[in-house]
Structure 1
Amino acid sequence: MPPIETLPVRKDTAQWPVWGTVARIVVTDPAAIDEAAAIARAELDAVDAACSRFRDDSELSLACRSGGRPVTVSPLLADLIAAALEVAEQTGGDVDPTVGTALCGPGYDRDFARITGRVVAPPVRVFPVPDHRAVRLRGEELTVPDGVLLDLGATAKAATADRIASLIALRLGVGALVALGGDIATAGPAPAGGWPVLVQDRPGDPSATVRLPAGAALATSSTAGRTWGPEPHHIVDPRTGRPAARIWRTVSVAASTCLRANALTTAAIVRGRGAYDLLRSVPSRLVTPSLDVLRLGGWPA
């Protein structure tokens, strides 16, 4: 995800590096920022332990090494898996958690902060993605087929942004904005005029500042932000097991939840020119590789 950021750090804001990007927390009451940051850090740690693909000891890694046997997982991981499977259904398989091995093949086999600068071979189709219907989740019992590596990168970060914003608003009684890289969620009351958010992928790219109303979310997916070499990027087309064609440099979507917004931006990258039909009635902003901007669904000019 690209680094979409709110306005500069103030007393109502905390930020720190996490998961190869930046976590940024903004609250409507500066007196609550330390507690809000503590809530966010605890939740990020719990999600990392539950579903990091880059930790051998994460619940997700252990489940993927279970040899196809059912395992009991925590309520947190069950929720994150359920969200990923639901998004796969909603997008017709465009956003599918079974792409883990396809990502590892071209080199995305560790935290992105450790990939930068590596020289890897051109991407090849190393593994046919089996699709999400091969995964079984019944309550907290998870069955991952032998040989399948799950990757929740397309959904877990967005779901976590939603979760943290809601927790801060509920526990502290303040409005909260949570940005995890390009995944932005809000909960509770918004400041006067809404939450100001700068939407821009790389320096020099077209930029836009929007104001999110209370409870709104925004996500951006990019084929330029997380790359490692001349060709690969991190958004895999599940039908080919290869990085999606670079029809769009970035896609941004506003929605009622960050999970929904991220599902649409990722699906739009995968669909390429089919993004027009997917997003025509959704507030969205698409940037081409030549930096032309297309606005759909009432995105402000």
Structure 2
Amino acid sequence: MTARWAFEAIGTRWEIETDQTLAPEPRERVRTLIESFDREWSRFRDDSLVARLARDGGDAPAPRDAAAMFARYDDLDAATAGAVNPLVGASLARRGYDAASSLVDRGAEPAPAWLGLLSPDGSTLTAEPGTLIDVGALGKGRLVDLVLAELAPDVEGTLVVDASGDLAVRGGPVRIGLEHPYDASRAIGVWEVTDGALCASAVNRRVWGDGLHHVLDARTGEPVRTYAATWARAAEAMTADAAATALFFDGGPELAHRWGVEWARMRTDGVLEWSAGAREGLFL
């Protein structure tokens, strides 16, 4: 790779790597795409669609990504027995991970049932006041896929879109280190990605209070305690991102297998687990 474009968006750092420097016009398209996605799905900005639904309730035209994302949530909900739920936003906010980043814990609260959130034809979102949608289980992966698709016609050679742990590659192969959750200077392995995606999640990111972090069990509103980090490699970033979330819970490995996802996860006691196709590249 010879050119890197780095910028901040949706509260995280992005790096886009290409063989040639990107022209201004595709960069502007990417900025517009990310802003549009954020204005629809961010629970951290007052002018977003999900913030308005949380304030006022009612019906709203569903964003173009809703059907694809909620179809994955159907699978996540079923596989984890309800531990992953797109209405976990209010539960996160109560623990201090709110729009103001207050980091003040007001106690655990289970997420409400989310059936009926999206109309059967995928055209309408319906929510009660106080219902706060959070698509963090797979939303960043979805946006990475959209940015990759937006740039692909303008890029010859290898293209890498990296949104701080969720990345997609066109071309390759690209070698990616799997950061150790307890020591950022170490890796638990190196995986190659060619025309695919790799997403990671860890409980050492976005940590505050007494053991609080951003991965909650929607059934209880409590942070997960068994697993410290997950890694998933798939054909697209949304699938890898969703699998990385599911792997914090029972049922995650079975869902990853059904989706054809290779994975690894580390327990909080340091024990490493992995799928059959993921062993190569791990430092065991």
TM-score in same-fold range (> 0.5): yes
- Counterpart amino acid of residue 221 in structure 2: G
Q: Give 1:56 deviation, angstroms.
A: 0.9
C-alpha distance in 2 between matches for 1:279 and 1:176:
25
Q: Give 1:186 deviation, angstroms.
A: 2.3
Matched residue, 1:25:
16
Q: Give 1:108 deviation, angstroms.
A: 0.4
Matched residue, 1:65:
55
Matched residue, 1:296:
275
Is residue 210 from structure 1 mapped to residue 201 from structure 2 by the alignment? no
Matched residue, 1:151:
134
**Which one has the bigger strand percentage?**
2
Q: Give 1:42 deviation, angstroms.
A: 2.4
Q: Give 1:34 deviation, angstroms.
A: 5.2
Q: Which 5+ residue runs of structure 1 have no aligned equivalent? A: 1-9
Please tell me whether the aligned partners of residues 53 and 129 of structure 2 are also in contact (alpha carbons under 8 angstroms).
no
Q: Give 1:261 deviation, angstroms.
A: 0.9
Please tell me whether the aligned partners of residues 14 and 33 of structure 1 are also in contact (alpha carbons under 8 angstroms).
no
For 1:195-234, list aligned pairs within 5 A: 195-200=174-179, 201=181, 202-214=183-195, 216-234=196-214
C-alpha distance in 2 between matches for 1:254 and 1:179:
14
Please tell me whether the aligned partners of residues 162 and 186 of structure 1 are also in contact (alpha carbons under 8 angstroms).
no
Q: Give 1:293 deviation, angstroms.
A: 2.7
C-alpha distance in 1 between matches for 2:125 and 2:21:
41
- Counterpart amino acid of residue 111 in structure 2: V
Please tell me whether the aligned partners of residues 197 and 212 of structure 1 are also in contact (alpha carbons under 8 angstroms).
yes
1:80-119 residue CA offsets vs partner (Å, 9 max, x unmatched): x3233212211214431111110100100027xx56xx5x
Is residue 98 from structure 1 mapped to residue 78 from structure 2 by the alignment? no
C-alpha distance in 2 between matches for 1:14 and 1:107:
33
- Paired residues, number: 271
- Counterpart amino acid of residue 124 in structure 1: G
Matched residue, 1:238:
218
For 1:38-117, list aligned pairs within 5 A: 38-67=28-57, 69-73=58-62, 77-79=63-65, 81-91=66-76, 92=78, 93-110=82-99, 114=101
1:228-283 residue CA offsets vs partner (Å, 9 max, x unmatched): 12211111212112222x21110101011111111111111133xx5454446742
Q: Give 1:25 deviation, angstroms.
A: 0.6
Matched residue, 1:259:
238
Q: Which 5+ residue runs of structure 2 have no aligned equivalent? A: none
C-alpha distance in 2 between matches for 1:247 and 1:205:
21
C-alpha distance in 2 between matches for 1:13 and 1:71:
38
Are the structure 2 counterparts of residues 247 and 168 from structure 1 closer, same or farther at C-alpha, using a change threshold of 3 Å? Answer: same
Q: Taking every aligned residue pair, what percent have the same amino acid on both sides?
A: 25
Greater shift after overlay, 275-284 or 38-47?
A: 275-284
C-alpha distance in 2 between matches for 1:136 and 1:66:
17
Q: Give 1:62 deviation, angstroms.
A: 1.4
Please tell me whether the aligned partners of residues 67 and 122 of structure 2 are also in contact (alpha carbons under 8 angstroms).
no
Please tell me whether the aligned partners of residues 84 and 97 of structure 1 are also in contact (alpha carbons under 8 angstroms).
no
C-alpha distance in 1 between matches for 2:159 and 2:264:
24
2:117 to 135, 159, 176: 135
Q: Give 1:31 deviation, angstroms.
A: 3.2
C-alpha distance in 2 between matches for 1:39 and 1:211:
29
C-alpha distance in 1 between matches for 2:246 and 2:268:
17
- Counterpart amino acid of residue 32 in structure 1: L
Aligned to 2:7, what secondary structure does the other structure show?
strand
Greater shift after overlay, 98-107 or 10-19?
A: 10-19
C-alpha distance in 1 between matches for 2:125 and 2:207:
31
Aligned to 1:253, what secondary structure does the other structure show?
strand
C-alpha distance in 2 between matches for 1:295 and 1:45:
36
When the two chains are superposed, the root-mean-square deviation of aligned CA atoms in Å is 2.4
C-alpha distance in 1 between matches for 2:248 and 2:27:
32
C-alpha distance in 2 between matches for 1:195 and 1:35:
26
